[in-house]
A = this chain, B = another copy of it.
């Protein structure tokens, strides 16, 4: 942490700040300059609220230097994390596809989707049993019955299940049914939920909040990891900006800094990120080229009849075509699509 004193700060004010730093059991390093004094602080500053010092007389500004996340940081864990599942793995060298409908609508469509995916070399299916909907009047998902459907389809086909958990009350049921538990964008800072999945024995796919900085996002991952669950997959799905050409602004530019700061795998959801079917394939290809570890794609047997989000869903033919294009790009990128 660095404390910047005002240009006209008095020696007494500087002394007072130095004392305050000592009283926090930290070490101050005063640096007198031409126009002002700055004071570096060493020691364990992670738990200190910079603003506590910022309000002292004569202080202009207080700047945090150390990042507050540890378990999620690459500094503490230089090697890329791989997430091992019984049917596949996510992480270095691979580019993993997760696809399926927005919500479980009935057993036939989940079975049909699972068979289609398995026959195309994709072994993870996503579908929502509990749906976060902005309107209380919209379809809220099949709930527990949806989970049961996915469990039966999993038993029959061997496909892995990725599904969202919305509330701590449903955590046991979702943990039982899922191979990967999804935490949605609106719950990225639902700390009660993060603590709960920190105790789960299944990997967690953590979507970035709509207005989360990279640091906020990694701190949310830290919550899960601090609970003992190190199997966290990050997923970018579009942020809120002034830009109105698509539903959200899919932030592919977060991939390189995320890879630089953290060892966790990063997937991209271009379906929610763009909100429009036609924009999904170019953004999917760009995700691979930018260094992401995989994709979450909305796909529906008959998108125009989907109960939710059909407009951003690919049909089977569209998905197959995208898969072919991805395989073409994966080769020069030295990646394997799984």
- Chain A residues proximal to chain B, CB less than 8 Å: 2, 4, 6-8, 29, 31-36, 38, 40, 42-44, 46-47, 49, 51-52, 54-56, 61, 63, 65-66, 68, 75, 132-138, 166-169, 186-187, 189-195, 209-211, 213-216, 219, 222-223, 226-227, 238-246, 249-258, 260, 273-279, 282-283, 285-291, 303-304, 308-312, 325, 328-329, 331-333
CB distance from A199 to the nearest CB of B (A): 13
Which chain B residues border A249 with CB–CB below 8 Å?
239, 241, 249, 251, 253
Interchain CB contact under 8 A, B289 and A46: no
Residue in chain B with minimal CB distance to A313? B55
CB distance from A221 to the nearest CB of B (A): 10
Specify how many copies of this chain sit in the oligomer. 4
Which chain B residues border A285 with CB–CB below 8 Å?
289-290, 333
Interchain CB contact under 8 A, A65 and B65: no
CB distance from A262 to the nearest CB of B (A): 11
Which chain B residues border A136 with CB–CB below 8 Å?
191, 194-195, 219, 222-223, 226-227
CB distance from A306 to the nearest CB of B (A): 8
* 27 chain-A/chain-B pairs, Cβ below 8 angstroms: A4-B66, A6-B75, A34-B42, A34-B44, A47-B138, A51-B276, A52-B311, A55-B277, A68-B137, A134-B216, A134-B219, A136-B191, A167-B193, A209-B211, A211-B240, A211-B242, A239-B243, A241-B242, A242-B242, A252-B252, A253-B274, A256-B274, A256-B282, A260-B278, A282-B291, A285-B289, A286-B289
Interface centre among A61, A63, A238, A285 (most CB of B within 10 A): A285
Known: A249-B241, A289-B289. A311 touches B54 (CB 8 A): yes
